[in-house]
Amino acid sequence: MSKKVSRRQFAKIAGLSAAGMASPVQSAEAKPQAAARQAGGFPPGFVWGTATSSYQVEGAVNEDGRGPSIWDSFTRIPGKIEDGSNGDRANEHFHRYKGDIRLIRELGCKAYRFSVAWPRVFPDGDGKPNPKGLDFYNKLIDELLANGITPWLTLYHWDLPQSLQDRFGGWRSAETCKAFGSYAAYVAERLTDRVKHVFTLNESGRFIYFGYGSGIDAPGLQLSQAEVNQARHNSALAHGLAVQAVRAHGRSGTKVGPAENIDACIPAIDTPENVRAAAIALREMNASYLGVILEGRYTDAFLKFAGANAPKFSAEDLKIISSPVDFLGLNIYAPQHYVVASDQGAGFALLPFPKSFPHMNSDWLRIGPETIYWVPRLAAGIWKTGPIYISENGTSGEDEVGPDGKIHDTDRIMYLRNYLAQLQRATSEGVPVKGYFLWSLMDNFEWVFGLNKRFGLYHVNFDTQVRTPKLSASFYRNVIATNAAGA
């Protein structure tokens, strides 16, 4: 017999099941590893979760009285979505939520971040609520709790009721902010008996500029800088009104905060001068949303830079916008700016990226694990924030189901391992990061990229709706079980 061992045989001998769980190699080492990691792991009680959003997973866009959203309309415009797909079916999560909750449980996740579709609750955005609108979320929340999973609710993840766009111009108008406040009050009143954490709006930084400036996302407008700044201001106002609505109408003790893709600034080299410069840059680059929310004013530099394009606002607006929040949610995927100290201007310079800077399977998803260390650390320092939660982090991958039916997404594991190690560095230094939500539970409708970009821990076959755990699901399960990033 040949002494040569094929790779597959070797894998068998070594007990390396593709899922990487039942391996004798692993179980033999499990104990000392776990013990070693405990010492240098995440703090006890660290919240481990996954995240999705309504339009990206629910489907069922015409069921139970849901009204149309701007994404229903936008995905109908030829050429807007890379593969011509839309969210009509997506993951059919509206019908398959029980199975999907089992998937969350199998990861060992104790928290799940989902969003409520505003047009399910108020089909026109304002006016009469749809009596069946909250049924789905009531069932979802009850099922999560029955499985020992804490629901974390996002009020707005981009599916604006189309009627608000048609009648008021969407986020161009303060009418939309008022409608959002009423919707937030309605949801808070009915769901905060069971939901204790509410995110207001997801990523003003993305949906305002891409929706109203570049026109890449819904509603696809290309407005002037002044109008974009006004829409951004309105989104901050909507956030503030929602915070107030949750306080006034939610059960006492309900925690509320934003979930923002903070413009990520990082010292290029760790020197005291660069760290100071990166902090200034982080504050200034986020002045138009997180800054005004956390400081109650726009910075002088922002107003000077915006000049005649600065948003119009009242002192009352600023008071509402800066209603105290309980936590800061940060979506952190990639470094946006490497910063060095400068004796020009505000004291910082943003470096250009070399063409060869590495990225993951989405061009924008540059690989910079230290982002998730520096940004929470600097943000906590600048704004004296309370708890910080990483409300999203994860990566797309060109995941393929192998002939053995498995998905060996070692690239995603590489990305996650490095980011989580840096997050652990932050918590071990006392940066107040209290939890982490991995984007995403499963592959889903990735906006303008359609179904082409896969971010899930579970692979989804969109023809059959079969979900298959990727190797990264085993990786994440191990992170959660050991409460440590692993080496």
Active site residues: 203, 392
Identify which range of 120-128, 199-207, 296-304, 418-426 contacts ligand PNW by CB under 6 A: 199-207
Q: Which of 105, 196, 206, 276 binds ligand PNW (CB under 6 A)?
A: 206
Q: Which of 50, 182, 202, 204 binds ligand PNW (CB under 6 A)?
A: 202
Q: How far is the CB of 207 from ligand PNW (least distance, A)?
A: 9
List, in order, residues 6 or more apart from 448 with CB less than 8 Å away. Answer: 80, 81, 82, 216, 217
Which residue number, 58 or 392, has a Cβ lying nearer to ligand PNW? 392
Q: How far is the CB of 394 from ligand PNW (least distance, A)?
A: 7
Q: How far is the CB of 78 from ligand PNW (least distance, A)?
A: 22
Does 482 sit near ligand PNW (CB under 6 A)?
A: no
| Block residue for tokens 């800066």 | 322
Does 276 sit near ligand PNW (CB under 6 A)?
A: no
Query: Which of 301, 293, 300 shows the shortest CA–CA distance to 319?
Result: 293
Q: Which of residues 343-372 bind ligand PNW (CB under 6 A)?
A: 364
Please give the Cα distance from 114 to 96 (Å, whole number). 14
Binding flags for ligand PNW, 50-69, as an x/- string (CB under 6 A): ---x--x-------------
Which residue number, 246 or 330, has a Cβ lying nearer to ligand PNW? 330
List, in order, residues 6 or more apart from 101 with CB less than 8 Å away. Answer: 112, 140, 143, 144, 147, 149
Does 235 sit near ligand PNW (CB under 6 A)?
A: no
Does 260 sit near ligand PNW (CB under 6 A)?
A: no
Please give the Cα distance from 362 to 366 (Å, whole number). 8
Identify which range of 90-98, 200-208, 263-271, 373-381 contacts ligand PNW by CB under 6 A: 200-208
Q: Which of 439, 458, 475, 476 binds ligand PNW (CB under 6 A)?
A: 439
What does DSSP assign to residue 468? E
Does 263 sit near ligand PNW (CB under 6 A)?
A: no
Query: Which of 286, 248, 242, 255 shows the shortest CA–CA distance to 388?
Result: 255
Alpha carbon distances (Å) from 455 to 86, 199, 394, 395, 451: 17, 21, 7, 5, 10
Residue with nearest beta carbon to ligand PNW: 364
Q: How far is the CB of 415 from ligand PNW (least distance, A)?
A: 13
Chain-centroid distance, C-alpha 45: 21
N- to C-terminal Cα separation, the chain: 39
Q: Which of 235, 371, 446, 480 binds ligand PNW (CB under 6 A)?
A: 446
Does 261 sit near ligand PNW (CB under 6 A)?
A: yes
Number of residues that bind ligand PNW (CB under 6 A): 13
Q: Which of 331, 371, 385, 478 binds ligand PNW (CB under 6 A)?
A: 331
Please give the Cα distance from 258 to 252 (Å, whole number). 18
> In the chain, helix, strand, coil percent, each to 5?
45, 15, 40
Binding flags for ligand PNW, 378-407, as an x/- string (CB under 6 A): --------------x---------------
Q: What is the largest CA-CA distance in the chain?
A: 84
Residue 350: CB atoms within 10 A of its CB come to: 17
Q: How far is the CB of 204 from ligand PNW (least distance, A)?
A: 11
| Radius of gyration in angstroms for the set of CA atoms belonging to the chain, rounded to a whole number | 22
Which residue number, 97 or 333, has a Cβ lying nearer to ligand PNW? 333
Here the tokens at position 71 are 């994404």
Does 274 sit near ligand PNW (CB under 6 A)?
A: no
Identify which range of 8-16, 202-210, 315-323, 416-424 contacts ligand PNW by CB under 6 A: 202-210
Q: How far is the CB of 395 from ligand PNW (least distance, A)?
A: 9
Does 234 sit near ligand PNW (CB under 6 A)?
A: no
What letter represents residue 139's amino acid? Answer: K
Chain-centroid distance, C-alpha 178: 24
Alpha carbon distances (Å) from 441 to 111, 113, 256, 410: 11, 10, 23, 17
Question: What DSSP letter does each residue of 389-403 carry, written as one string?
Answer: EEEEE---B-----T
Contact 64, 71 (CB under 8 A): no
Which residue number, 219 or 250, has a Cβ lying nearer to ligand PNW? 219
Q: How far is the CB of 481 from ligand PNW (least distance, A)?
A: 26
Query: Which of 209, 383, 386, 231 shows the shortest CA–CA distance to 312?
Result: 231
Does 203 sit near ligand PNW (CB under 6 A)?
A: yes
What letter represents residue 84's amino acid? Answer: G
Interface residues with ligand PNW (CB under 6 A) are: 53, 56, 202-203, 206, 261, 331, 333, 364, 392, 439, 446, 455
